Chains A and B, each alone.
Chain A
Amino acid sequence: MFAKKESITSLSDDDLLLRYQEKSDMRIVGELYKRYAHLVLGTCMKYLQNKQEAEDTTMHVFEVLPNKISRHHITHFKSWLHIVVKNECLMQLRKRKHFSTTEDLIISGDSDVEHCKELEFSLEQLEFALNLLKDDQRICIELFYIESKSYKCIADELSVSINTVKSNIQNGKRNLKLQLERNHVGQIKK
């Protein structure tokens, strides 16, 4: 039994899903819970802004997970789960406002899908793209990624809130990726 457990914990997400589809072994759902419950709960909290609802929604996500993973072909579980969680949150929000709940909606996971595709770019290209960012974003990115300063240190140094620092870093990173993608597409065209 212990040997089995060890093999499950060392499996990749893809292998876990494959095994679940073959054997419907509930230990696999437990392993997925162990790996992702903290991400699901945090994401529910971000969107729902209510602890009880976030917990209930997290439970619901894992309750319906066995059925979903046995029915669907999932290529990137983490990204897929992110979409499922956002979908559940949106449905909760719709219920709060008495929107029709007959229509099952889901948020597109474009950015997540993109996340799975590796971009090829040189450090020189990255440096060039970095210089195209707005100053606020560039400075926060440099302090965070190059000087390895924490959010709090950067916030103190720049006399801004931690949220501003986080926002600048996240937006800056997104803009960098877009810029590099554009360059990448441009190179392919050439």
Chain B
Amino acid sequence: MLDKLRNSINGHGKGFSREDLRNYAASHDESEKQRIELASLDSDFDADAFDGWEALGYDSNKLSKLDQRFKKTLPGHYLLFWIGTTAILTIGIFLALQYKSTTPLKKISSEMTQFQIEETEIIPIEILNLPEVPSSIQIKSAALQNDYKRRKLNETPAESTIQTLPLRKPEATAGKENQLISQRKLMPEIYLEEFKLVDYKNREAIQTKRLNLYGTPANQESKEEAIEQFNWENYTVSYNDYMGKTMHLLSKNEYKSVISRLKLVVQQFPEDLNVYFYMGFAYYNLGLYNEASVHFDKCLQLPNTNFDQEALWFKALTLEQGGKKYEAQMLYRTIAENNGFYSVEARKKIDAKM
């Protein structure tokens, strides 16, 4: 009984087709309509499009004009395809018109509709177009979450020691070898979505905005009126709520969304350690090792030590993945000597090399 629902949730269907649109407008058969409505829920794309077609009266003939325009953009050798397609469309249009002569036009709701797009849901295209690397060379967010779980369970004496000792800068980042980092301290921490974050308790809310889109179907509105029916609205969201959602996206390995959201935070809080570490992690998993390296370095330069161990470890991995094997090995040695959480893994890396 629930198979249809299960398939719909998992998006097993192919969505609706042009022919479905024609049938939906023409058919009196409620079971046929239901089949098409079901198909329209197969994906968000289908659902959006089907909503849009409501405003077009589900009249697929409106695609004909578009087909003609598109045809002109194609080179001549593709003409045969279009002859076939046009013939099918013409037959379809004829049949649809036959139906329409006896079918009253579907009433279009005049209810106002509203959509909201949060600015924080928006990814600049330069981020969207960043390359991606095979998942086999990524470090999944779940692995980092597991590290944190293990660390919480087994806080080793060595680990607590390392956080009070001055850390050595990694060679790749230090201007002078063995330069000690001083006056850096550990801040309170919280866990959101099982990721560790510095607890910036009194941090001001994140300023962002959202786009409200209002509208009535276009055939009931003049173009000029439709133009005015949206607006941007400023709003604020608490730092922890914002970071909670960002960590949620991270848990789903949505690295580009994470980078996009964290860039907004760093504009307002340029020394936010959480931002630099998780941006570095996201860049690492997109295979952008130079960018990742810059962010991990920044973690090691900021006044708080909370992410020192992670930043060093991921910096070493970044160097290794980026082909800087020697520098990576040197850093693994530093990590192993520090006797912190990643020292065992670092020793394995050193042994593997030997």
Q: Is B85 engaged at the interface, CB distance under 8 Å to the other chain? A: yes
- A90 near B122 (CB under 8 angstroms)? yes
- 8 Å CB contacts to A: which residues of B279-334? none
A47 and B213 in contact, given A38-B49, A106-B123, A150-B30 (Cβ under 8 angstroms): yes
Tell me the smallest distance from the CB of A50 to a CB of chain B, in Å.
5
* Chain B residues within 8 Å of A163, by CB: 109, 111, 113
Complex formed: what's the CA distance from A113 to B256 in Å?
12
Interface mask (B221-248 → A, CB under 8 Å = 1, otherwise 0):
1010011011110000000000000000
CA distance A38 to B129 in the complex (A): 25
| CB-defined contacts of B231 to chain A, threshold 8 Å | 97
Question: Chain B nearest CB: distance from A103 CB in Å?
Answer: 7
Chain A binding site: helix, strand, loop or mixed by DSSP? Answer: helix
Interface segment out of the listed B3-11, B156-164, B168-176, B341-349:
B3-11
- B68-92 vs A, CB cutoff 8 Å, 1 = contact: the mask equals 0110011101101110010000000
Contact A150 B74 (CB under 8 A): no
A42 to B46, CA, bound (A): 9
CA distance A52 to B224 in the complex (A): 12
Interface mask (A87-112 → B, CB under 8 Å = 1, otherwise 0): 10010010011010001111110111
Residue of A nearest to B256 (CB): A108
B87 to chain A: closest CB distance in Å? Answer: 14
Interfacial chain B residues near A104, Cβ < 8 Å:
124-126
A46–B52 CB distance below 8 A: yes
Distance A110 CA – B56 CA, assembled complex (angstroms): 27
The one of B53, B66, B85, B230 in contact with A93, judged by C-beta atoms closer than 8 angstroms, is B230
Is A134 part of the contact surface with B, judged by Cβ < 8 Å?
no
Contact A150 B34 (CB under 8 A): yes
Tell me if B73 and A62 are in contact (CB < 8 A).
yes
Interface residues in A1-60 by Cβ distance below 8 A to B read 1, 5, 26-27, 29-30, 33-34, 37-47, 49-55, 58-59
Instruction: Considering the complex, give the chain B residue whose CB is closest to the CB of A5.
Output: B81
Contacting residues of chain B (250-297) with chain A, CB-CB under 8 angstroms = 252, 254, 257, 260
Residue of A nearest to B51 (CB): A46
Bound Cα distance A58, B66 (Å): 8
Known: A115-B44, A126-B2. Is A62-B70 also a contact (CB below 8 A)? yes
Tell me which residues across on chain A come within 8 A of B221, comparing CB atoms. 49
Contacts of B213 in A (CB 8 A): 47, 49, 93
Report how far A141 CA is from B1 CA in the complex, Å.
12
Residues on B with beta carbons closer than 8 Å to the beta carbon of A52: 223
User: A59 contacts B123, CB within 8 Å?
Assistant: no
Q: Does A190 count as interface, using CB distance less than 8 angstroms?
A: no
Max count, chain A CB within 10 A of own CB: residue among B52, B69, B257: B52
9 contacts across the A-B interface (CB closer than 8 A): A26-B74, A38-B63, A41-B56, A50-B223, A78-B43, A116-B11, A146-B5, A152-B33, A161-B109
